[in-house]
Chain A
């Protein structure tokens, strides 16, 4: 029974934590209106330093945990997800240097967002836990960190979900 509960953790969490609430929270933080400035850009895209975040809205109008990070003035979009939306207990070092760099007064000001790497099949989709985007919605500043002890490619779907998917094909 315990293992069943574990396997069902991700969908249960998504249902009990629908994006409506998440989007409202992000909107309340001002994250969805503001243009975010990443002084160092993102790895591989040093010239793209201004971004806006919008919720990803599925065609059927339902809610989703995904966000889109759009570069301002460039054709560049990354899908994002919040660790909490995946049921992940995710931690990153909120050092004094990071707080200062992002103009944050308190560690709670900093919000982690994870880049989703979409691939050909669902079970290949991964989330980058090693290079989180850390944003301070108040100051509209962000940075991509490197956490060497975290995986670069963490599956979005738990193995149990992916197995079910394979069986249904």
Chain B
């Protein structure tokens, strides 16, 4: 990993069209400004990883046919005219 030191207000560039600017530093928190083309997806890492993990958890679930049928039964089991318990 390339490690650089920057001060507030300074920037780094990645490739030709991505610029990351240190907007401010306050204690352990750093504020970054990111200029990148629209098609470049910029996400906080924890969001990116959560999305990956959720997709992996949803993919190829064993016995998914039975689980979908069970869920369907539960969704349809109640008649809307029935009084609630």
Contacts and interface: CB of A to CB of B under 8 A. Distances in A.
B79 to A, nearest CB: 8
Q: Identify whether the interface residues of B are mostly helix, strand, loop, or mixed.
A: helix
Contacts of B52: 43-44
B50 A118 contact: no
Interface residues of A, number: 49
B38 A128 contact: no
A160 B53 CA distance: 28
A31 interface: no
A42 B78 contact: no
A88 to B, nearest CB: 13
Interface string B66-85: 01111110111111101111
A71 to B, nearest CB: 9
A58 interface: yes
B4 interface: no
Contacts of B39: 97, 101
A81 B53 CA distance: 19
Interface in B31-46: 38-39, 41, 43
Given A11-B75, A11-B80, A146 B55 contact: no
Contact of A131 (B55, B71, B77): B55
Interface string A68-110: 0000000111110000000000000000010001000000000
Interface string B17-59: 0000000000000000000001101010001101111111111
Interface of B: 38-39, 41, 43, 47-48, 50-61, 64-65, 67-72, 74-80, 82-85
Interface of A: 4, 7-8, 10-12, 14-15, 40, 42-45, 56, 58-59, 62, 64-66, 75-79, 97, 101, 115-119, 122, 125, 128, 130-131, 144, 146, 148, 152-153, 156-157, 160-161, 164-165, 167
